[in-house]
Amino acid sequence: MGRVTNLIKIQQLSMVSILEPLTDNSHLNHVRISFCMDKATCNQNGKIWLLWNQEVECKVLESNDQQITCEISHVTNPITYLITVVYPKCKENLRTPLWDRLLHYANRDILWCPIK
């Protein structure tokens, strides 16, 4: 975890996502503190963790077993946009609900950044 903490400091990252953290959600707060982040959330199965500091205004719009979608703004930029952090299922047929949700956000009139 020390290498990630150093990377966050060097790059001055305001938001970090972790896919498949290989630990249960009870460690999320410890990781948040270690990364010097102010807030954190995870999806229902704990495969996606999202952490951010006070420079970011983050409103979680939707969270399920394959994605977290948030409305984001940063103190240095007044533009609001969406991000979707994705951790898709391996089997194609199990990704269908994810594609449906991604299409929903793709058709909105707002900046949107899907991240895998």
Q: From start to end of the chain, where are the E strands?
A: 15-19, 39-42, 48-52, 56-64, 67-74, 77-86, 112-115
Q: Using 50, 70 and 90 to split pLDDT, how confident is the model at 110?
A: very high
Tracing tokens 């994810």 back to the chain, one arrives at 98
DSSP single-letter state for residue 108 = S
Looking up residue 78, the CATH number of its domain turns out to be 3.60.10.10
Q: Domain range holding 29?
A: 2-115
What confidence score (pLDDT) does residue 78 get?
Answer: 83
pLDDT, one tens digit per residue, over 54-102 is: 999 999 999 999 999 999 999 999 899 999 999 999 999 999 999 999 9
Report how many domains make up the chain. 1
What confidence score (pLDDT) does residue 2 get?
Answer: 86
- Arithmetic mean of pLDDT over the chain: 95
| 5-29: average pLDDT | 95
Q: Using 50, 70 and 90 to split pLDDT, how confident is the model at 26?
A: very high
The neighbouring-strand residues paired with 51 are: 16, 40
What confidence score (pLDDT) does residue 98 get?
Answer: 96
Give the whole-number percent of the chain exceeding pLDDT 90: 92
- Please give the Cα distance from 3 to 80 (Å, whole number): 31
Q: What is the pTM of this model?
A: 0.92
